[in-house]
Homo-oligomer: A and B are copies of this chain.
Amino acid sequence: MQNTRILLAARPDGWVDDSHFTQDTQPVPEPGDGQILLRTIYLSVDPYMRGRMNDTKSYIPPFQIGEPLSGGVVAEVVHSNHADFAVGDTVIGLLDWAEYSVSNGEGLRKVHAGGHPLSYHLGILGMPGLTAYVGLVEVGRVQAGESVFVTAASGAVGSVVGQIARNMDCYVAGSAGSDAKVAHLKNTLGFNDAFNYKSVDSVHKTIAGLFPKGINVAFENVGGAQFEAAIWNMAVFGRIALCGMIADYNISRSEMPAGPRGMTNLIGRNVTLQGFIVSNYPQAAPAWDAQCREWLAAGKMTYDESVAEGIGAAPGAFVGMMKGENFGKQIVKVGDE
């Protein structure tokens, strides 16, 4: 039996493209004592992975050239030499981008569909959903009725941020990169307002118009001009949850992205800007999981997925996501549930 894997071929400098990936095919590995063999069902495709393609020290080590990429994976146990795992168990964990992988079980968590697609464990019931909750509620300390601005609002994280805010009776407006996404935000996800950041004359003036009394909580996924405009439009005692700056990830390392101007606005308005990594907030997971399942069951939360088919489609799915081509959460279906 053969095992196809996706490897890092070269480190991108600026935009990532297909040339930065390669693949190989090897025999399926043999699990040793205390190990299990896993068959990949879904791969998660996430913006933070772009940072791991750079050779820079961060909170998570960089990918190595010639080695498989890795990320969030839902997989089925197909052979077990481990007392805690049985053949047929479904698990989630950080695993290689490969059709099969071997694990000693460390960091794996068993998951059950529970009436939802298994892939939701890579999205709304997984890291991106918890990121939305932690950023808005724990970091952003949002209160019912406040005003919320979210960038990349139709994405895996932003779409959940907006719906949490809506369910908390907040005024929520978001930005996205196409008119179709903007329509989806307003018509399906219940955003009060939304705009296409690529087509408005001025992001700054658009945000100012949407938030005449200022933004109470800004959930920042994008960086660049939108981040700067948010800084200029915060309300007194506002909070900015800094989750990602995907616009900056695509800029060549030789031209370091400009920083947001107007930081003195943070002083005069007593604004808090907090960067965060969801893995630092594990204690928030049970509350979010319960709330999310309640809202899903009540039809008060929806979740969109863009699904690429087959391990070979993973590089293209990643490149497309970095360009904003996905609609909601980008995943790759590698094998059947």
Residues of A bordering B, CB below 8 Å: 51, 58-59, 223, 227-228, 236-237, 242-245, 248, 256-277, 280
Contact = CB atoms under 8 A, between A and B. Distances in A.
A258 B261 contact: yes
B263 A242 contact: yes
Given A245-B264, A259-B263, A269 B59 contact: yes
A274 B275 contact: no
Given A228-B259, A259-B259, A273 B266 contact: yes
Contacts of A270: 274-277, 280
A258 B261 CA distance: 6
A261 B268 contact: no
Contact of A271 (B58, B269, B274): B274
Nearest to A249: B264
A274 B276 contact: no
Contacts of A243: 267
Contacts of A248: 264
A277 B227 CA distance: 22
Contacts of A268: 51, 58-59, 275, 277
19 contacts: A59-B236, A59-B268, A227-B263, A245-B264, A245-B267, A256-B262, A257-B261, A258-B259, A259-B263, A264-B275, A266-B273, A266-B274, A266-B275, A267-B275, A270-B274, A272-B273, A272-B275, A273-B273, A273-B274
- Tell me how many chains of this kind the complex includes: 2
Given A263-B223, A264-B248, A272 B271 contact: no
Most chain B C-beta atoms within 10 Å of own C-beta, residue among A227, A258, A264, A276:
A264
A244 B265 CA distance: 11
Contacts of A59: 236, 268-269
A216 B172 CA distance: 34
Contacts of A259: 228, 258-263
A284 to B, nearest CB: 14
A216 to B, nearest CB: 15
Contacts of A273: 266, 272-274
A84 B1 CA distance: 93
A81 to B, nearest CB: 36
Contact of A258 (B51, B258, B269, B272): B258
Nearest to A237: B280
Contact of A276 (B228, B244, B260, B267): B267
Given A259-B262, A260-B260, 11 more contacts: A51-B268, A223-B264, A228-B259, A259-B263, A260-B263, A264-B275, A268-B275, A270-B277, A270-B280, A271-B274, A272-B274
Nearest to A231: B259
A23 B11 CA distance: 64
